[in-house]
Chain A
Amino acid sequence: MQLMSGNEAIARGAWEAGATIGVAYPGTPSTETMESFATYEGVYAEWCTNEKVAVEVGVGASAAGARVLSTMKHVGVNVAADPLFTAAYTGVNGGFVILAADDPGMYSSQNEQDSHYYAMASHIPVLDPADAAEALAFTRSAYELSERFDVPFMIRSTVRVSHTKTPVEVGERIDYTPKEYEKDASKWVMMPAFAKPRRKVQLKRIQELQQWAEECPFNVVHMKGTQRGVICCGAVYQHVVEALPDASVFKLGLTWPLPKAALEKFSAAVEEVYVIEEGSEYLTVQVASLGIALNEFPCDLPRDGELSPGLIKRAFGIEVPAHIESPDDVPGRPPALCAGCPHRLVFKELSRIKAIVTGDIGCYTLGTLPPLSAMDTCLDMGASISMSHGFELALAGREHRPVVAVIGDSTFGHSGLSSLITTVYNHGAGTVCILDNRTTAMTGRQGNPFNGVTLQNRTSRELDLLGVIKALGVENVCQIDPHDAKAVREALRVATKDQSDELSVIVFKAPCVLLHRERKPYYFVNADCRSCGVCTTLGCPALSKDVESGLASIDPVMCIGCGQCAQYCSFSAIEQIPASSAKGGAR
């Protein structure tokens, strides 16, 4: 038995099934799956620029006969939707399994969409493991099923499956012989003449899948009594068993297509039938559409966020047990840009010039929070550049504040490039700041085309970011050290004032502080502090001010010696300790 997370178990299941190729773009809560898969013997794994590319690489590898794993977070499925829908026409050669990791409760996402809808809409069967052991077993089986039904299979997990460790019994790797590739335009060329017959093939396959669903071993019924019956799947099943120990449960392991006859039989065997699911109405609507009459919950079940046994009990009128209420004066603890983060001064300066800042997805979205409060919008990967173009179009001819897009290096590679091309092509204006911190930081520092680091440390090349931007036809391009406050301020002034009618791109290049963890001697506040409070407007976690005196202080353990704050002190009250007196020099 090994203690494994759901993500590690999915990777293991793919490896045991003989998968040899892994393709992904990182995204919480899916990331560790591909990182774990990459550590197995006999596999090739890579980060792609985005999820659409990953699925296309996957379809190619499957067509060529390999078993393939592709992983992504739920919003990544949006990006991959284009190849996904048509891959459900072409089908596979080698088995193809796609992980969609959902984030109900939005711990680290911009929405809580339910990937079941994609499975249903694209006609791709989806399996819902409820713990790590099932994650391994379902994934392992999914390869054979993918080949049997000639269609990619989706594994849908949530944060509580992906990030929960449970003991798992692992198995051996099967000896999988890659399939031969044979040219077959009627299967792989989806032009109307071939897509029309493939659509018929798909409809026939759906019927076969529906029949198989009735006997699918991943759908399990636990009869406890005839009063109350619950239909559920995934992590929610675990909550239901705890909350309603006397209820009979239909645990769906295959959530599209649904087993109509089996669900009807279950419903007929109990007095009341409920569907319990989190952050979605997918299952409720689908079960109801089979003609099964569902009972209303006695009390409300939340329609948003994660469920828990307690919330399910509340829906059935069971009260909250005795507990101590948390006092109402507990301050929040929002995450913040790290001490020494190279993004900080860009946001400080953008805030100072009151720019309209269209933001993007990554650590730097934290520049939205006080005291920096610098960001106006955040929509999806790459939207910063396209939205700034939209702002400029609508504000043209009107007096307006400067419009500045802010995007990270990895996000720029993911989908910012095509946005920038659109702006250049249409002669758009505005300023684009690329915060190149040399990594995909938010998801745990993965490689990307602009740092040239690959998942399995194979030789790569570092894409020339400035060269790429210039080649697109952007004339105003410069590279700035984001730790230098004066340089940041001047670059933004030139871009937003002197070049306000033109498009300009500023690359702020400095590594993420978590990348190398280098520390210089720390800074401290001397007796010249006048309590002006300017330094604490940087929002550095190492800086604080005394409640009574207003005097600033720096936590020597958290300070990494970046020196950003000292540049904002008008009284020379922030100074660095000499390297000689720092404990062992730079710690």
Chain B
Amino acid sequence: MSSATTILLCGVGGQGTILAADLLARAALAAGYQVKVSEIHGMAQRGGAVTTVVRFGEEVHTMVADIGESECIVYFETTEALRNISFLKEGGYLLVADETIKPLPVACGRASMPADARRKLADAGAVLIPSRSIAEEAGNAKCENVAILGALESQLGFGADIWTEVIAGRVPPKTVEANCKAFELGLAFAHGE
């Protein structure tokens, strides 16, 4: 593999994974890297799983993630985390929003939720982030995706200035403050503050 870093973002349609990937890609670009961001969003609006790959580095070729080759994986939901956990590189960073959204087959009683999801994720070294409550503390529950990016920054080190500029340039003007606050709180969480 090339020197590029692979970050996989997985969630459910409507959770803001695509905006998160866009912000991440722009931050990487602003930090001076080459970047590629690949989305599969055909069914996103209809409650299906959404997977987005962001790759950045001095040189980036492929735009897809492979089993056991992703440096960081960010899951917006615990079931999706378990589904895609095989993509994580050994020793990689696993960040999971502590949130569960029942898939339709479970909701209508045709399937059941995976057993011990949180324990299995913890065993895999996952950092479970209470992103919903962090976003609410920041003043807007919709900033959850940006709170998660804050925690991810603990592994990236792009710098607060870059993130502030990227966030301010992409989110609705009225939510800039709450988003920046959510980012800070997410980063503080990852640093154990």
Contacts and interface: CB of A to CB of B under 8 A. Distances in A.
A544 B64 CA distance: 34
Contacts of A241: 2, 61-62
A371 B111 CA distance: 12
Interface in A161-211: 163-167
Given A166-B36, A323-B68, A331-B79, A536 B108 contact: yes
A160 B63 CA distance: 7
B114 interface: yes
Please report whether the interface of chain A is mostly helix, strand, loop or mixed according to DSSP.
loop
Contacts of A545: 107-109
B85 interface: yes
A337 B111 CA distance: 18
Given A3-B29, A545-B108, A321 B42 contact: no
Interface stretch (A37-45, A77-85, A305-313, A568-576): A305-313
Contacts of B82: 326-327, 330
Contact of A536 (B29, B107, B111, B114): B107
Interface string A317-332: 0001111111101111
A583 B87 CA distance: 41
Contacts of B66: 308-311
Contact of B84 (A311, A326, A332, A537): A326
Contact of A329 (B46, B62, B64, B115): B115
B45 A514 contact: yes
B124 interface: yes
A108 interface: yes
A212 B165 CA distance: 47
A246 interface: no
Interface in B57-86: 60-69, 79-80, 82-86
B158 to A, nearest CB: 15
A370 B83 CA distance: 21
Interface in B154-176: none
Contacts of B80: 333
B103 A331 contact: yes
B1 A242 contact: yes
Interface string A226-256: 0000000001001101100100000000000
A566 interface: no
B47 A333 contact: yes
B35 interface: yes
A108 B111 CA distance: 24
A552 to B, nearest CB: 10
B114 A310 contact: no
A302 interface: no
Nearest to A306: B64
Contacts of B106: 331, 544
A145 B33 CA distance: 34
Given A320-B67, A321-B90, A539 B108 contact: yes
B69 A239 contact: no
Contacts of A363: 46
Most buried by B among A163, A320, A545: A163
Given A332-B111, A370-B110, A547-B112, A167 B103 contact: no
B43 A108 contact: yes
Given A108-B43, A334-B48, A539-B108, A239 B61 contact: yes
A108 B80 CA distance: 20
A338 B45 contact: yes
Contact of B29 (A1, A131, A306, A544): A1
B42 A336 contact: no
Given A321-B67, A366-B46, A543 B107 contact: yes
A331 B25 contact: no
B188 interface: no
Contacts of A324: 85-86, 88, 124
Contact of B112 (A159, A238, A306, A331): A331
Contact of A323 (B36, B64, B86): B86
Contacts of B46: 335-338, 363, 366
B37 interface: yes
Interface string A527-566: 0000001001101010111010010000000000000000
B107 to A, nearest CB: 3
B64 A308 contact: yes
Given A160-B64, A306-B64, A541-B104, A330 B83 contact: yes
Contact of B63 (A238, A322, A335): A238
Contact of B62 (A108, A165, A239, A550): A239
B86 A108 contact: no
A107 interface: yes
Given A323-B86, A366-B46, A164 B37 contact: yes
Nearest to A307: B64
Most buried by B among A107, A164, A533: A164
Contact of A332 (B40, B45, B105, B107): B105
Contacts of A160: 38, 63-64
B15 interface: no
A440 interface: no
A159 B53 CA distance: 13
Given A1-B29, A167-B34, A308-B62, A332 B108 contact: no
A388 interface: no
Nearest to B113: A331
Given A163-B41, A330-B83, 10 more contacts: A108-B42, A165-B36, A239-B62, A321-B67, A324-B85, A326-B86, A333-B12, A336-B46, A541-B104, A543-B108
27 contacts: A160-B63, A163-B38, A163-B39, A164-B39, A238-B61, A242-B61, A308-B64, A309-B69, A310-B67, A321-B67, A321-B89, A322-B68, A323-B68, A324-B85, A329-B114, A331-B106, A331-B112, A334-B103, A334-B104, A335-B47, A336-B46, A366-B46, A370-B108, A371-B110, A536-B108, A544-B106, A545-B107
8 closest residue pairs by CB, A with B:
A310-B66, A108-B42, A323-B68, A544-B107, A335-B48, A321-B68, A335-B43, A335-B46
Interface of A: 1, 3, 28-29, 107-108, 131, 159-160, 163-167, 235, 238-239, 241-242, 245, 306, 308-311, 320-327, 329-338, 363, 366, 370-371, 514, 533, 536-537, 539, 541, 543-545, 547, 550
